[in-house]
Amino acid sequence: MSIKQNESVEKALKCSSQHWIFIFLSFFLLREQPIFSTRAHVFQIDPNTKKNWVPTSKHAVTVSYFYDSTRNVYRIISLDGSKAIINSTITPNMTFTKTSQKFGQWADSRANTVYGLGFSSESHLSKFAEKFAEFKEAARLAKEKSQEKMELTSTPSQESATGDLQSPLTPKSINGTDDERVTADASQNSEPRAEPNAVPFPHSSTTISKHWEAELAALKGNNAKLTAALLESTANVKQWKQQLAAYQEEAERLHKRVTELECVSGQTTGIKTQKTELNQTIEELEAALKAKEEELEQLKAEVENAHQLQSQKDAVTQKLQETETRNLELEAQLAELEQRLESNQVEQESFRKSLRSLLELLDGKIFELTELRDSLAKLIEGGGS
């Protein structure tokens, strides 16, 4: 495939993708009105890492809030030329988070991605965040109203009529709504003897609810068809782009190969000389490689010796640590023994002092006994004479 053919295929793919995008956006933008716009750099989270930001615009683009009055929904849309880089419907579960002074992000579960916007100033970021919160609340209220309408339309209207006929004197039937009171007054003035069973059957509410249900189903069907067509066109565009890229790579490779062959065909003699030189160079490199391998083996042997020395060193270090630990334990035991010795010496000294005092006491007692003996002997001798 030539370069011109590649360019024509690429142009055709671009035109096809732009055509589908234009049809899809035109369908929605014709019935939507922009209510707020600003400019920012657009990013999307990397689907592989879920951490890094991937820029989807080379420069600042317009980011707008749109309101669809027929579906009563709010959306954020941004176009880079004819390419839609943001198409996010605001739901009550979404949250816009300010991650810095000029950057904010929100997650879109329907698109299975996270959008990021980089603004030129903090005021633009704050204004965008305020509008996001405002339209998020509006989306919540709109959802609640739609749920209430669905509940009202699903409730049979005959139940209220039957309840009024069965209990005509209940507080609700006496007070009633404004319409019921006006109807009751009119019936009393015009037909005072009217029968209580004359209650109109509400055909109009049922018909309107069925009409809205049919219209809602038709809108859902059209939306599903457009979504399927857009997804199919997007898949086809991606496939065509991949094929085009493969064709371009193959063309470039063949072009390089042809250029190389042209150069080779004109330089056969030079190639032979270069081949001889290359063979010599290869032999020299092989000899050098063998020498390097021998050096590598020597280095491996030295490394093994170093590992052995390191293991021996580790063993000696461990033994030294164990010896130091044992030495500390022995020092602790020695200190304990010295303390016990000192305590024993103190106890022995006190015991010696107590023995000395006891000996002195015994000496005094012995001396007193000796004196007593002498006095008794003298008494005995005096009595005998």
Model confidence pTM above 0.75: no
What percentage of the chain carries pLDDT values higher than 70?
A: 75
Residue 292 has pLDDT above 80, yes or no: yes
> Is the separation of the CB atoms in 96 and 63 below 8 Å?
no
Confidence band of 277 (pLDDT split at 50, 70, 90): confident
Gap between the Cα atoms of 380 and 385, Å rounded: 9
| Token pair 């941004």: residue | 78
Residue 115 is predicted with a pLDDT of 95
Question: Which tens digits make up the pLDDT trace of 71-94?
Answer: 888 999 998 887 889 999 999 999
Amino acid making up residue 158: Q
φ/ψ of 43, rounded to 5, equals -135, 155
Gap between the Cα atoms of 4 and 123, Å rounded: 49
E-strand ranges in the chain read 32-45, 53-55, 61-68, 73-80, 83-89, 97-98, 103-108, 113-118
**Looking at 61-65, 121-125, 203-207, 232-236, which range is the least confident one?**
203-207
Residue 270 is predicted with a pLDDT of 65
Residue 183 has pLDDT above 70, yes or no: no
Gap between the Cα atoms of 200 and 177, Å rounded: 16
> Is the separation of the CB atoms in 21 and 82 below 8 Å?
yes
**Nearest Cα residue to 3 out of 248, 261, 254:** 248
Gap between the Cα atoms of 116 and 325, Å rounded: 62
Gap between the Cα atoms of 170 and 164, Å rounded: 8
> How many CB atoms are closer than 10 A to CB 209?
16
Question: Which tens digits make up the pLDDT trace of 110-136?
Answer: 888 999 999 999 999 999 999 999 999
What percentage of the chain carries pLDDT values higher than 90?
A: 35
Residue 384 is predicted with a pLDDT of 66
- Domain 9-146: state its class: mainly beta
Amino acid making up residue 111: A
Question: Which tens digits make up the pLDDT trace of 334-354?
Answer: 999 999 999 999 999 999 999
Gap between the Cα atoms of 329 and 333, Å rounded: 6
> Is the separation of the CB atoms in 133 and 96 below 8 Å?
yes
The residues with which 77 forms a beta bridge, in sequence order, are 64, 87
Gap between the Cα atoms of 16 and 170, Å rounded: 68
Instruction: Tell me which H or E stretch contains 363.
Output: helix 268-384
Residue 331 is predicted with a pLDDT of 93
